[in-house]
């Protein structure tokens, strides 16, 4: 065995980078105007269509971790009536949506390091939507492509559009454990992605 093989020179390259920033929402300041959703789609899609927005605003009413449906509620058995601006958690490695993508279409943006969907590579299979534990992926039926928050190249339009200051761009930290999962996920991981993760996730 060569010294290169002994040191793992032929192992798959695994890129472990985290986003430079993260969107945080304060539900106590949200007025439910949904301007953030409009700003998101107008900037990214050229049209006002909240259904494909990468930020999602719902009212935490009659829903909660123990209540029926538990769509996005996280406070109390029956909810507390606050509007809940929900944002992508910019997950650390292994990123669920990117890991599930069989076309390797979800990649790190060179400016923000946030994962962004490369529309040219996306096949519209929707596996990433099923893989996100917080239901933060969106799907554009018009283009047949998945979409997700990539922080608008470092200047999130939702933050700029918010009239009440409920949204902030802050330095990245892992917030994936600060709230329970919204949905049970069973992502199908492509074989090539499994090979790429063996080195750092399976001990020798």
**pLDDT of 181 over the 50 cut:** yes
- Please answer whether residues 148 and 116 qualify as being in contact, where contact means their C-beta atoms are separated by less than 8 angstroms: yes
- Please answer whether residues 83 and 34 qualify as being in contact, where contact means their C-beta atoms are separated by less than 8 angstroms: no
Q: Give the pLDDT of residue 199.
A: 60
Q: What is the CATH number of domain 19-201?
A: 3.30.70.20
**pLDDT of 195 over the 80 cut:** no
Q: pLDDT by residue (tens digit) across 45-70?
A: 999 999 999 999 987 654 444 444 44
Task: Report phi then psi at 31, rounded to 5.
Answer: -100, 0
Q: How is the chain split into domains, by residue range?
A: 19-201
CA distance 113 to 90: 9
Cβ burial, residue 15 (10 Å; 0-12/13-18/19+): exposed
Task: Supply 34's token pair.
Answer: 């949904």
Question: What percentage of the chain has pLDDT greater than the value 70?
Answer: 69
Q: Give the pLDDT of residue 178.
A: 81
**pLDDT of 12 over the 80 cut:** no
CB atoms within 10 A of CB 1: 5
Task: Supply 153's token pair.
Answer: 């190249």
**DSSP readout, 58-107?**
EEEES--TTSSS-SS--SSSSEEEEEEEE----PPSSPHHHHH-TT--EE
26-41 mean pLDDT: 93
Q: Give the pLDDT of residue 65.
A: 46
Tokens 């809940």 appear where?
Answer: 84
Half-sphere exposure at residue 135, Cβ-oriented, CA atoms within 13 angstroms: 15
Query: Cα–Cα distances in Å, from 182 out to 33, 77, 91, 133, 174?
Result: 24, 15, 15, 6, 17
Q: pLDDT by residue (tens digit) across 84-123?
A: 888 999 999 888 999 889 899 999 999 999 999 999 999 9
- Please answer whether residues 19 and 154 qualify as being in contact, where contact means their C-beta atoms are separated by less than 8 angstroms: no
């Amino acid at each position: 065995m060569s010294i290169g093989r002994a040191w793992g020179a032929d192992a798959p390259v695994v890129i472990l980078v985290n986003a430079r920033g993260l969107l945080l929402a304060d539900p106590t300041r949200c007025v439910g105007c949904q301007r953030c959703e409009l700003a998101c789609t107008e900037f990214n899609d050229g049209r006002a269509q909240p259904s494909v927005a990468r930020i999602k605003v719902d009212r935490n009413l009659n829903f909660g971790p123990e209540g029926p449906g538990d769509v996005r509620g996280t406070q109390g058995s029956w909810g507390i009536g606050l509007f809940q601006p929900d944002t992508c958690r910019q997950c650390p490695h292994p990123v669920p949506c990117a890991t599930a993508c069989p076309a390797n279409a979800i990649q790190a943006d060179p400016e923000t390091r946030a994962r962004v969907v490369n529309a040219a590579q996306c096949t519209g299979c929707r596996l990433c939507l099923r893989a996100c534990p917080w239901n933060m992926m969106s799907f554009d039926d018009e283009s047949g492509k998945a979409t997700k928050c990539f922080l608008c190249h470092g200047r999130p339009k939702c933050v700029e559009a918010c009239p009440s200051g409920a949204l902030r761009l802050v330095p990245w930290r892992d917030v994936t454990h600060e709230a329970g999962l919204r949905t049970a996920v069973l992502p199908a991981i492509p074989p090539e992605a499994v090979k790429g993760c063996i080195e750092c996730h399976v001990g020798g």
